Amino acid sequence: MEEEEKMKFFLPPLTIQGVFWEKIENFPLTPFCCVVNQNQYKMKVLKLSIVAFSALLFFACGDSNSGTSNAPGAGNTEETAATEAEDHGSEDAGPIELNSGQRWLVNDEMKPYVTKGEELVNSFIQSGGSDFKALADQIKSQNVQLIKSCTMEGKSHDELHKWLHPHLELVKKLATEENADKQKVLVDELQMSYLKYHQYFN
């Protein structure tokens, strides 16, 4: 009975279908053969199947993640943040309102980016700058950080976006405008935009 439970197997080359075993009757034991009983055989096959499946799953996930990270535009958090802000405030929300006659409080993390953007515009005007596209890129960078650092909620957040959306639109127009006179007008409007910010936010 014990002899009947024993089988001799030969390990052939790996194929597309996977690792398989071929029963060989009365074949002498060689380095390429092994003798196992039926229970041992089942356990070995089960373990090999689990290992093979785990390896396939691991590499499949790795390929999927690498494909996502290398896709065009993937991980571009600056453009994503700017787009979200534009979409959020794209509707006509009406004029900005004060907080019962007082300016709305802005979280401290956001203030440096407003200040820096305003300084860039004022410095550009005072120095008679001419690289309008570079200015637009610099302000856009500050605006992206401003959006990413925002933790405001409720009414104050909604009122801030009433200012932010037109402000972003001005920067967007400045980045694409080719006419020098119109570029100067847009820079002046950006300066006024920052002044408007200080009227409603603190």
Q: Which two tokens stand for residue 185?
A: 């007008």
User: What pLDDT score does 21 carry?
Assistant: 41
User: What pLDDT score does 149 carry?
Assistant: 94
Residue at 167: amino acid letter: H
Q: Are residues 52 and 103 in the same domain?
A: no
Residue 88 reports pLDDT greater than 70: no
Q: Are residues 112 and 179 in the same domain?
A: yes
Write down which residue in 70, 86, 108 finishes a domain.
70
Residue at 146: amino acid letter: L
Average pLDDT, the chain: 74
Residue 113 reports pLDDT greater than 80: yes
pTM for the whole thing?
0.59
Q: Helices 154-176 and 180-200 sit at what angle, rounded to 10 degrees?
A: 170
Q: Do 113 and 146 meet the contact criterion of CB atoms below 8 Å apart?
A: yes
User: What pLDDT score does 145 carry?
Assistant: 96
Interatomic CA distance for residues 65 and 67, integer angstroms: 5
Write down which residue in 47, 70, 93 finishes a domain.
70
Query: How many CA atoms lie less than 13 Å away from 45 in the CB half-sphere?
Result: 14
Binned at pLDDT 50, 70 and 90, residue 128 comes out as very high
